[in-house]
Every structure is written in structure tokens, then in C-alpha cells.
Amino acid sequence: MANWKNNAFINQLIDLTETVWFNPDTLPFAEATKGIALSRADVEDAAARLERFRPYIEKVFPETEASEGMIESPLRHIPYMKSALSEYFRTQLSGELLLKCDSELPISGSIKARGGIYEVLNHAEKLALGAELLSESDDYSKLDSEEFKHFFSKHAIAVGSTGNLGLSIGIISAQLGFSVTVHMSADARQWKKDMLRSKGVHVIEYDSDYSTAVAEGRKQAATNPYCYFIDDENSVTLFLGYAVAAERLKQQLEEKNITVDADHPLFVYLPCGVGGGPGGVAFGLKLVFGDNVHCFFAEPTRSPAMLIGLYTGLHDAVSVQDFGIDNKTVADGLAVGRPSGFVGKTMQHMIDGTFTVSDDTMFKLLTMLTDSEGIKLEPSALAGMSGIVHMHNHREYIQQHNLQDTMPSATHIAWGTGGSMVPDEEMQKYYETGAALLKKT
């Protein structure tokens, strides 16, 4: 570690300077996937499982009636935000800017409704198939019954979380009938804990950060043979649940007549905490669009865990705290000090880069998005919003990939990872903080 402390790039992160990093180790997609155990077939298997559960989801979560039990979010053009960014950052921006509104995902209002709910469904299906209570050809709405609730009540589920994963897993687990415990880090917002408790979820609070909540959860779960621990730091199942988003995004782009090919590159900016959500989505996107999609993680300046892991190649053997960075950020969903080793190693030749964003910038972007488009996101979900600006200001990536001529026909997607369930009062405070910061600049 001592060697890295003299490294100029690491020092920039220690100084909490907003930083853009392009990954020097990316490989063409076909090569990058060679050492990876996961494939398109695994993502298709996850998508098929979610299909089987649609009748159940539609039945127990009426907000999914319109989508017939599919947990999916809209993709929206945000041209006024593009103009606002252009003006604020004084940069001419070409191409289209869209927002993937995972903030509007049904059931738990964040990207965590993808992987988190998927892993619980996967576990429930395995148990029910194993007990011969269910077969894959059944109408899964039968899971909404006293018989199944009684069966699942003999099993427990546990997870460690900064808030949104716990919300997703808690809600679906309680609905199925599991006994569920969520180990919440100090970052978790009070309303998320209150909401879970109101649904009968056992919430344990810690004074420390996410890594401690996960470690404690793992330890406690190990004492109960009927308890299934959802391991956000290492779970392949979570990762695959997120990856399903890609094929659906492809359909949404087609519906909007947006082409993605060598002449029409797609840039996607993903807020990153431990890495499972953004890693899974990026992996899925690379499977679908290959080298025509360019994926970037976005992290808070105070929690650049994945960036440090990727840059040093140390992955989960290093934490931001090792460098004296405090992991204290308003972006509670991204307040992770030690990245997932599984995600870092899986994505090390695939992820195109990472940039860091200060809390002040996230607040300002939050207010700008509300004013320009009337869309409200939580601070974490704004982390990727300045990606389009970086692509225009840091031309080396564009030049290296020979994308200069394609920039006018490029599509940029900021992944808006959460926010629709934030209570109005809390959202108003975020907005006012951003407005005050914008006034000063």
C-alpha cells in the first residue's frame, strides 16, 4: 500500500479532486469475455426466471399491472437537462442525452429492484421446486397463498445494505413470507428503515459503514442453517439480475428509433457503490452491444472504492479508508469503501473508465434536473449525469477510439438509479441545498 501512497493519481483521489479515469486495460469485448465464467446464456436464464414470476409480481404488486408484472423503468429524452449541463459546464455538447429512470422502477424505486428482487425470487423458486411444491410450467401466481407463505416462513433471508438493496430485498422477502433481516449501515436513511419495519422486516442498525453491516450480516446468517445470506459483495445471482436490463434497454432504444452501431456509439454512465448493480448492467450491455457501447462507473469523491480497486489491481484487497478517504458522502447508495472483488475482476478489461463526483456537484445536478425536466432523483442517482460533459472535455478517449466523427450521432444515457420513493420533505431539502450551491457559482 505504501507504494501507492506516492502515486500522483492516487494523491488526486486522496485530495478529493473530481477525477476522470480511462481504463488502460480494456480489451475488445470478444477477448475480454474469454476469462469470464458468465455468458449470454446465464443472462437469458435470469430473464426467463423473471418471466415465470410475472404473474406473481403482477398479482401482489398492483403497480406492475400495466407492465403485466415486468419490473422495468422508462427511458426518457432529457434535452433541457442537456442544455442546462452545456450552459453550466460551458461546453458544447453533441449527441442525444437520455435518462434511464430506474428511480421509477416499481416496488422499491431504485436499481436495486433489479438484482435484489431477482435474487430473492431465484432463491424462492429453488426452495419451492426442491420441495416439489412448484414446477416451472406452473402459473407462479399460486405463490401468493397461505400454503407458500407458510412454507417460506420456515426460511430466513439476510442482507447487508446502505439502504436501497435492503429495501428491495426486505419488501419482496416479506411479501413471499420469508423471515427477513436487513443489516443497515450508518448511511441508510431513516425513512427506508421505517418503511421496512412497517412491512415486518427485522432491521438491525450499525454505527459503521457498509462493509461492517455486510460482515455482521454474513456472520449472523451463518449461525442459522435455514438462513440464506444475499452477499452483495460477491453475488453472481444479483449481478445477473441487473444484467437483464440490457436486452430490455435495446428494445426501448429501438422503439425510439435510436441506432447503436459503430457509427452511432452508445455511452452509459452508471453510479457505482460496491459494483454489482452498475457492473451487472454494464456486463449485460456489452453482451448486447459489444464494443459499440462505452460504459463508465461514477463514484463519489469520498468513496472511490471501485476506482481504487481497478486502478491498483488490488480490487477488494484495498479500501478507500486505507488511503485516509473517509467514505462519508450524501450519496448514501454509493457509500462503499471496499469494492466487490468479483465485480472488479469480472469488469477489469470491460469497463471503459470511472469518474468521481463531489457531493456538491451531485446536489447541483439534482436541482438542475428538477428545474429543467421536472424529474427528481436521489443524490446517488445523479453521479453519472456529468458523464456526457467528460466525454466532450476529455477528448483522449474519443480520439483513442476514433470516435470523433461519430460524436454528433452518439447517444448518452445517464442511469438514474433511484429516487421516486424519497419523502417530499427530504427531497425538498436536497433541492434547496443544490439551489443554494448553484447560486454561489
**Among 248, 243, 242, 270, CA closest to 75:** 248
Rounded distance, CA 321 to CA 411, Å? 36
Q: Exactly one of 160, 304, 333, 337 binds ligand PLP (CB under 6 A); which one?
A: 333
Which part of the chain contacts ligand PLP (CB under 6 A), choosing from 15-23, 265-273, 310-318, 355-363? Answer: 265-273
For residue 90, what are the contacts with CB-CB under 8 A and spacing of at least 6? Answer: none
Q: Exactly one of 170, 241, 265, 273 binds ligand PLP (CB under 6 A); which one?
A: 273
Contact letters for ligand PLP, residues 341-380 (x by CB under 6 A): -------------------------------------x-x
Residue 203's region, left for phi above 0, alpha for psi from -120 to 50, else beta, is beta
Q: Nearest distance from residue 145's CB to ligand PLP, in Å?
A: 32
Q: Does 110 bind ligand PLP (CB under 6 A)?
A: yes
Q: Exactly one of 274, 288, 318, 325 binds ligand PLP (CB under 6 A); which one?
A: 274
Number of residues that bind ligand PLP (CB under 6 A): 22
| Residue 85 to residues 52, 55, 390, 440, Cα–Cα distance (Å) | 42, 42, 11, 17
Q: Does 304 bind ligand PLP (CB under 6 A)?
A: no
Q: Does 276 bind ligand PLP (CB under 6 A)?
A: yes
Q: Does 116 bind ligand PLP (CB under 6 A)?
A: no
Which part of the chain contacts ligand PLP (CB under 6 A), choosing from 68-76, 136-144, 270-278, 358-366? Answer: 270-278
Q: Does 211 bind ligand PLP (CB under 6 A)?
A: no
Q: Residues 406, 264: contact at Cβ < 8 Å?
A: yes
Instruction: Give helix 276-289 / helix 245-255 axis angle, nearest 10°.
Output: 60
Q: Does 170 bind ligand PLP (CB under 6 A)?
A: no
Task: Specify the residue, 110 or 433, whose C-beta has the smaller distance to ligand PLP.
Answer: 110
Residue 155's region, left for phi above 0, alpha for psi from -120 to 50, else beta, is beta
Q: Does 177 bind ligand PLP (CB under 6 A)?
A: no
Q: How many CB atoms lie within 10 A of CB 101?
A: 21
Q: What cell numbers appear for 427 in the block?
A: 427531497
Task: Specify the residue, 112 or 390, whose C-beta has the smaller distance to ligand PLP.
Answer: 112
Q: How many CB atoms lie within 10 A of CB 61?
A: 18
Q: Residues 139, 148: contact at Cβ < 8 Å?
A: no
> Where along the sequence are the contacts to ligand PLP (CB under 6 A)?
110-112, 162, 164-165, 271-278, 333-334, 336, 378, 380-381, 417-418
